[in-house]
Amino acid sequence: MRIYTITEAARRLGICTRTIRLYVCEGLLRPVKESGRFVFTEKDMEELARIVRLRQDLDVNTAGIEIILEMRRKILSLQKQIEQITEGIEKEVQTRLKDYSAVSAKLPARPFRKDIIKITVQEESD
């Protein structure tokens, strides 16, 4: 996994190290500290790029960025839950189909019913 120093992160995104420190101070970014220095993972870099885009390109303030990032985290969490539920449903459907196949294989074959009478309804005329 690639790790970036604050200088490398700033250079890569075209911003000042001071700007990154401000984002950390504001609580928008939570990088790990190693030997007293911030280090940034690829995931941190993606989050930092989002923050930079929101701040510089879209002129979103700190409170707005916090809300947007929190909503994004919640959406991602909900997507994971939906995927897990969907997988569970698919497994249940497969299990029930196997059970149905096993039960229906044991049933005697039914001939086509010829005793069903076709009923038609005629409209009444005035």
Look up residue 42 and give its amino acid.
E
pTM here? 0.68
Q: Using CA atoms, how far apart are residues 119 and 123, in angstroms rounded to an integer?
A: 13
Let me know: does 68 contact 54? Beta carbons within 8 Å.
yes
Q: How far is CA 62 from the centre of its chain?
A: 24
Check whether 86 has a pLDDT greater than 90: yes
Rounded Cα distance, 46 and 115, in Å: 70
Domains within the chain, CATH numbers bracketed:
4-102 (1.10.1660.10)
- Per-residue model confidence as pLDDT tens digits over 49-81: 999 999 999 999 999 999 999 999 999 999 999
